[in-house]
Structure 1
Amino acid sequence: MNWYVVYTKPKWEKKVAERLNEIGITAYCPLITKVSQWSDRKKTVEVPLFNSYIFVQVNEKERNAIFEVTGAIRYLFWLGKPAIVKEAEIQTIQEWLCVQDTYEVSVDTWQKGDKIVLESGPFVAQSAIVQEVNQNHYVLVLESLGCILKVEKKVV
C-alpha cells in the first residue's frame, strides 16, 4: 500500500488522523513537542510537524474512504496525480522524531550554495545545500526529503 499526503482543515490534523485510525485506515500525523507561551503561563504542547497535512496508507481503490472523516479536505497532488510518499521517507520522519539527543556539528567554512553531506544526527548521510549562513546558525535544504534544517552554531 502507498502512503499519500492528505490536506486537512487548519488545526484538525490530530483529530483527522485519530478518526481515520478508528475506522481502520492507517494515518500518521508526525508530532513535535514545543513550549507555548501565554500571558500567564508556559505549557508544553504537541503540535503537528506539518501544518494541515497528514499521511495515510491506503490502497488505490480505498482512497476516497478518507473523505468520510470530517476535516479531510483533499489529497496533495504532484504532476497531476496524488503525491505518493515512500515508506523510507515515512520511516526517516519517524526516526528523526524519536531522537531525543542534540547533536554537535562542527563547521569551519560553509558558505551559501555549498553542497554537503551530514555526518551526524538523525539526518546522517543526507546531502544538503547551504541556503543561509548567519552569525548563530546555518539553514540547510535537504532536497531528498523536501525540508529545511536549521543548524545552530555552537560557540566554543
Structure 2
Amino acid sequence: MPWYVVVRTKPQHEIKTAQFLEKAGIEVFCPVITEVRQWSDRKRKVTVPLFKSYIFVKIQEKDRNAIFNAPGVLGFLKWLQKPAIAKDDEIEAIRSWLNNDRLGDFQVNQLKEGDEVEIKSGKMTNKKAIVKEVGNKKLKLILNELGWTLTANIQDLV
C-alpha cells in the first residue's frame, strides 16, 4: 500500500485528525516536533506538526474515500492531477531525522548560504543538500531531490 502525501487538513487539525484516523484503523504518520513558545509571562514547550496542514496516510486506492469521514480533512495533495504518493524510504527518512539522526560531520562555522553539503550518516546518507540559512541556533538545508527544506538545531550537529 502506498503512503499518500498527504491529506490536507484544516489549520491546527493535523494531530486531532491523525488520532481520529488511527482509531478508525488507518495507518497514519503525522510527524511532530517540540518547539519552545514564548508568551509575555512564560515559556512553554508545545508539540506542533512538522508539515502544517498535512498528514500522511497508508491506504489502498479503493479506500481513499474513507479518509473524508475524519474531521478536518480537506482532501489529498495532488501531483499531475493524481494524489501524491511518498516512498517508504522517504517516510523512514523523516522518521529517522525526527529521531535525531546526525546530518553529517562538518563545522557549522565554515558553512555559508549556498554551500552544498553531503549527508554522511543516517537514513539520508549520500543525499546532497544546499545550505539555505545559517543561524545562531538553527541550520536550514534544502534537499532538492526530495523537495524538502530541513531545519536542524546546530547543537545537535556539532
Name the TM-score class by shorter chain. Answer: 0.7 to 0.9
Q: Deviations over 1:72-130 (max 9, x none)?
A: 11000011110000010111111111117797631686565444312357744221124
**Which segment is superposed worse, 107-116 or 81-90?**
107-116
Instruction: String of CA shifts for 1:2-52, please: whole Å, max 9, x gaps.
Output: 101110000000000000000111111101011111111111111000000
Equivalent residue for 2:3?
3
Q: Calculate the TM-score normalised by the size of structure 2.
A: 0.82
Mean Cα deviation higher: 93-102 or 70-79: 93-102
User: Aligned AA for 1:91?
Assistant: E
Aligned counterparts, 1:1-156, within 5 A: 1-4=1-4, 5-99=6-100, 105-106=106-107, 112-120=113-121, 123-132=124-133, 139-150=140-151
Are the equivalent residues in 1 in contact too, given 2:105–2:120 (CA < 8 A)?
Answer: no
Asked whether the equivalents of residues 104 and 119 of structure 2 are also in contact (C-alpha less than 8 Å), the reply is: no
CA distance in 2, matches of 1:144, 1:102: 16
Gaps of 5+ in 1: none
SS in 1 for 2:17: helix
Task: Indicate if the aligned counterparts of 1:110 and 1:130 stay in contact, CA closer than 8 A.
Answer: yes
Residue pair 2:9, 2:53 contacting (<8 A) in 1 also:
yes
Cα distance in 2 for partners of 1:151, 1:66 equals 32
Is the Cα contact below 8 Å between 1:99 and 1:122 reproduced in 2?
Answer: no
1-10 or 101-110: bigger deviation: 101-110
- Computing the radius of gyration over CA atoms, which structure comes out larger, 1 or 2? 1
For structure 2, which runs of at least 5 residues remain unmatched after alignment? none
> What is the alpha-carbon distance in structure 1 between the residues aligned to residue 142 and residue 93 of structure 2?
16
Q: Name which of structure 1's ranges 54-63 and 36-45 shifts more when overlaid on structure 2.
A: 36-45
Q: TM (normalized to structure 1)?
A: 0.83
Aligned partner of residue 96 in structure 2, secondary structure: helix
